[in-house]
Amino acid sequence: MLNLEEGIIAVKLARSAIAAHLSGEIMRTGDLPAIFERKRGVFVTLHKDHDLRGCIGYPEPVMTLKDAILDSAVSAAVHDPRFLPVRSEEMKHITIEVTILTPPIRIDAKPEDLPKCIEIGRHGLIIRKGFYQGLLLPQVAEEWGFDAEEFLSQTCVKAGLPPDAWLTGAEVYTFEGQIFAEIEPDGEVIEKD
């Protein structure tokens, strides 16, 4: 877990990475707390006027937290295929959220028992079947008012699978996320519950 000071650094690091990329400058991180050298999964989410503007990350701890934040921030801004790339002048309207992930754990339960294994607001989901994979962060279920079954179905859809794939052999993983977010663009950073 990160403390609030480290969470603030994470969000500011994401904003700085995007700003440097958009202006063509070289990103310099300076000295960071030791936790930023540990391998962690992370997602960076951008909102513009409370609407999603980009979200990309690494569900698995495949690189250091620092590198995962830097890469995810730039990718969320300019490589999310659902959106046009962010322009420099937009940044004053964009809030940044960084979600630090725990390693995913496969749920070992009968398909019909899967909803009982998911705690809305605490768990994020990854669903895998063959070459298909989808991920929804823990905050998505609460933001959209999903119950556990709908959360499973929507994660299947995100993976490009039928909504009932969780009942027909897809692997289901849970993870938790620690969320740090700007209250307003380039403003105060809080840890979300």
Based on the structure, what is the number of domains in the chain? 2
Residues 129 and 170 in one domain: yes
Residues 68 and 119 in one domain: no
* pLDDT of 28: 87
Residues 111 and 142 in one domain: yes
Domain span at residue 77? 4-101+177-192
Residues 44 and 63 in one domain: yes
Residues 87 and 117 in one domain: no
Residues 40 and 111 in one domain: no
* pLDDT of 106: 97
Angle between helices 4-23 and 65-78 (to 10 degrees): 50
Amino acid at 153: S
HEC assignment per residue over 31-55: CCCHHHHCECEEEEEEEECCEEEEE
Q: What is the mean pLDDT of each run of 10 residues along the chain (193 residues)?
A: 95 97 91 96 95 95 96 97 96 97 95 96 95 94 95 97 96 96 97 89
Backbone dihedral region for residue 88 (phi beyond 0: left; psi -120 to 50: alpha; all else: beta)? alpha
Residues 128 and 150 in one domain: yes
* pLDDT of 110: 96
Residues 15 and 75 in one domain: yes
* pLDDT of 101: 95
* pLDDT of 134: 95
* pLDDT of 1: 87
Residues 91 and 66 in one domain: yes
Is 0.85 surpassed by the pTM of this model?
A: yes
Residues 44 and 116 in one domain: no
Residues 30 and 79 in one domain: yes
* pLDDT of 27: 87
- The tokens 């934040």 sit on which residue? 69
Q: What is the CATH number of the domain that holds 128?
A: 3.30.1490.150
Residues 96 and 117 in one domain: no
Q: What is the CATH number of the domain that holds 65?
A: 3.30.700.20
